Amino acid sequence: MAEKKSSLEYSFKVNLKGRKSIWRIVVLRGDHTLHNLHKIIFKAFDREEEHLYSFYFPKEPSGRDWKKLKVKEYSSPFCLEEPNPLSDEEPFNAAKTSLDALHLKVGQTFEYLFDFGDNWLHEIKVEQIEPASRTRRLPIVADRHGESPPQYPDYDEEDEED
The predicted-structure confidence for 27-62, as pLDDT tens digits, reads as follows 999 999 999 999 999 999 999 888 889 999 986 555
Higher-pLDDT residue of 156 and 52 is 52
Residue 90 has pLDDT above 80, yes or no: no
Pairing of strands 53-59, 109-114: antiparallel
Average pLDDT across the chain, whole number: 85
Q: How far apart are the first and last CA of the chain?
A: 62
CA distance to 31, 98, 124, 126, per residue, from 103 (Å): 12, 10, 15, 11
- Give me the CATH topology for the region 8-161: 3.10.290
Q: Please state, for a pLDDT cut of 90, what percent of the chain lies above it.
A: 53
The confidence score (pLDDT) of residue 1 equals 45
- CB atoms under 10 Å from CB of 115, counted, come to 16
Residue ranges per domain, the chain?
Answer: 8-161
